[in-house]
Amino acid sequence: MKPVIPLAVAAVAVLAAGPVTSQSQKVIPPKTVYWMSASTQSGFGFSQGAAPSAGDMMRMAMGGGAGGPLKTLALDLGSKLPPSPAPGAATHAVPASMNMGAGLPLRAPRRGTPASPGDDFERPKGKLLLFWGCGESARPGQPLVFDFAKMAAGQMPPNLFAGERVRIARPPGASTWPTYVYWPNGEQPDGSRPVPQNASLPGEHKVSGNFAPEMAFSLQQDWMQGVSLKQQKAASGAVTLQWNPVPGATGHFAQMVSGKEEGGSPTIIFWTSSEVQTFYSGLSDFVSPSEAARLVNSKQLMPPAQGSCAIPKEAVAAAESGILLLTSHGPEQTIVHPPRPKDPRQDWVQEWSVKARFASRTGGILGMDELPGMAGATASGKPRCKPDAATEGAKSAGGAIGGGLGRAVGGALGGFMGGKKKKAEPEDCEP
């Protein structure tokens, strides 16, 4: 007789495992989504999300001010539900630790007159020199040279974005959601209130409006720690960037951009810390932790533990001066209501979701640890009419980054590079 014990054990194991099923839980996405983009900005730079004011820019240039780095917050609420009455409006009730009053008003964007093409914009010209990778010397074959006029005419180089595969999640916007409100929105007095340096996000939050369901949630993550950037020039001409470790960082990305005139034609010099060819891919934007881990693995982002990177001497020599930007990507917190049902046979019908994302950024002028122009400021906060040598150095770094160049490279540097012709403005300075 054959032994029956092994067969019996196998049968028990099958019964314990339960019936075999290929059914997967059906997920119904929410009709209302809310994104909170919290950025810490030290040094000089441009945050993704809430645009800094003129006062913020001054604080950035002074390292954030006596109270520490600058904190910015952008709130974006999108819904498929119509407002009643129109337009859409909402209020974000914040915890007392925010030190921003009882709540922040989210408002719908005002409909403006679209800009018309014509004499306001110059035809782009010049060229782009592209470098990438950390190291004292540039990689063989660098720089790649791209002609702006050809790019503006639609002749995009086939290898401009050769190494870039970056998944950037975009917050809700007026073009993607039927009902959309945001903050800061310029509405007085609370629609443009700056975030105080002692603000803290953890605690109980509640968002309510005339179109979206009430959203009550708790945040555990606070603004990230500030990151500081130091530079050291080697005898070869390369410049080593060094920064402090930031708790919670998931990866780092550094870039340098410079503009100069050569024979009446502007030249843009662009360098990034990626080990693969990278022009502009949103790597300085908010990047999710899972995407950051993938990009670290592909060497497009520097790993969290890395604290230095050298700009090759060839890029430094070509740039002469330039703007430096460093982004330390951070964590995310996602809340979905209602929570996922434990029974996989039950559909997960999501009503709303909240995503809070974080980053820490800094920047400066290539070759200058201290930001120029501060000595030229007066007690009134207005610059002096005659800038000093340091200020002139800063102007030379970005002076050519204007005209139509920003649009020539597909908006790569956004409003920073601009696109409109400069108009004569009255002086607002002290002699």
Domain ranges of the chain: 27-108+122-417
pLDDT of residue 23: 66
The 10 Å Cβ neighbour count of residue 275 is 17
- Strand pairing partners for 420? 121
Q: How confident is the model at residue 236 (pLDDT cuts 50, 70, 90)?
A: very high
| Average pLDDT for 101-120 | 74
Q: Are 70 and 22 in contact (CB under 8 A)?
A: no
The predicted pLDDT at position 123 comes to 59
The C-alpha atoms of residue 177 and residue 77 are separated, in whole angstroms, by 9
Counting beta carbons within 10 angstroms of the beta carbon of residue 187, is it exposed (0 to 12), middle (13 to 18) or buried (19 or more)?
Answer: middle
Longest dimension (CA), the chain: 109
- The percentage of residues in the chain with a pLDDT greater than 90, rounded to a whole number, is 56
pLDDT attached to residue 67? 55
Q: What is the pTM of this model?
A: 0.78
User: CB neighbours of 372 closer than 8 A, spacing ≥ 6?
Assistant: 365, 388, 390, 391, 393, 394
What is the rounded average pLDDT of the residues 81-94?
A: 96
List CB contacts of 415: < 8 A, sequence separation 6 or more. 406
> For 40-60, how does the pLDDT look when each residue is reduced to its tens digit (9 = 90+)?
999 865 444 444 444 444 444
What is the rounded average pLDDT for all residues in the chain? Answer: 78
Residue-level pLDDT at 388: 38
Model pLDDT, residue 320: 85
Range of lowest pLDDT (197-211, 226-240, 250-264, 367-381): 367-381
Read off the pLDDT of residues 126-177 as tens digits, 9 standing for 90 and up: 888 999 999 999 999 999 988 877 777 777 766 666 666 788 889 999 999 9
* DSSP per-residue letters across 81-143: SPPSSSSPEEEEE--GGG-S-SEEEEEPPP--PPPPPSTTBPPP-SEEEEEESSSSSPPTTPP
Is residue 210 scored above 60 in pLDDT?
A: yes
415: closest CA among 52, 171, 86, 95? 52
Residue 373 token pair: 């122009």
Distances (CA, A) of 14 to 10, 19, 324, 344: 6, 8, 61, 20
pLDDT number for residue 159:
65
pLDDT at 49: 44
Q: What percent of the chain has pLDDT over 70?
A: 69
CA gyration radius, the chain: 25
The confidence score (pLDDT) of residue 188 equals 75
- Could you tell me the two tokens for 276? 């693969």
Quick one: pLDDT at residue 265? 82
Structure confidence at residue 291 as a pLDDT band (50, 70, 90): very high
Cα 65 from chain centre: 21
